[in-house]
Amino acid sequence: MELIPTLKLGLLNGWIFLALFYLIFGIFLLIFPKDVVARLYDFDRSRWDKRQKVFDAIRRLLGFVSLVLIIFTPIKTGTTVFIPGVVLFGLGLIGFMAALIDFKNRPLDQPAVRGLYRISRNPQIFMLFVLVFGISMAIGSWLVLFLEILTSVFGHARTLAEEKACLARYGDLYSVYMKRVPRYFLFF
């Protein structure tokens, strides 16, 4: 692993992982019913305070920088962290898709509480972190890993806002769920 990766155009760069993720995610969005896709992005940002908006803007900027670095960083196939990175990417990808299916299969008037949602209130977010963690290992970049951690820290404000919106929408049902299930798998 290196702190600052050497950036260059190439066929064996981190973009391969991103292309696979976005291809599969895009297929899911195409085959899911339109109301499910709308629910994926259905949360009210109008009540966010200034801090939440600033943190979300920082999260987006950091995520964009990470994407650019991943796209232009060659994959480090000969390193000891390449295989663990690919495994983590695969686990994150499978977990993310499983969480999407769990979300799709929930009743319209209830929060997602089945499948991975039984052990995490935010499995999609957690699995995306695992996925990018794996990519950062496969491309051998400490910088991408550091940016992903920062992105997650700033993204936590968004997670809290989404949970607040779920409390407003689902009331006691979600409140009980929050007490029973941790936010990010092991962390309440």
Q: Where are the domains of the chain?
A: 15-180
CA distance 13 to 41: 30
pLDDT at res. 136: 96
Residue with tokens 């963690």: 133
Residues contacting residue 92 through CB under 8 Å, at least 6 positions apart: 127, 128, 129, 130, 131, 132, 133, 134
For residue range 110-121, what is the model confidence (pLDDT) as tens digits? Answer: 888 999 999 999
* Cα 182 from Cα 177, distance rounded (Å): 9
pTM to 2 decimals? 0.89
Is the per-residue pLDDT at 187 higher than 70? Answer: no
Average pLDDT, the chain: 91
For the 15-180 domain, the top CATH level (class) is mainly alpha
pLDDT of residue 142: 94
Average pLDDT in the 25-39 region? 89
Tokens of 139: 């491309």
Q: Looking up tokens 């409390």, which residue turns up?
A: 167
* Eight-class DSSP state of 160: H
pLDDT of residue 179 exceeding 80, the answer is yes
Phi, psi values for residue 78, rounded to 5°: -90, 10
Question: What's residue 19's pLDDT?
Answer: 97
* Dist CA 107 CA 174 (whole Å): 14
pLDDT over 80 at 43, yes or no: no
**pLDDT tens sequence across 123-171:** 999 999 999 999 999 999 999 999 999 999 999 988 888 888 888 888 9
* The one-letter amino acid at 157: A
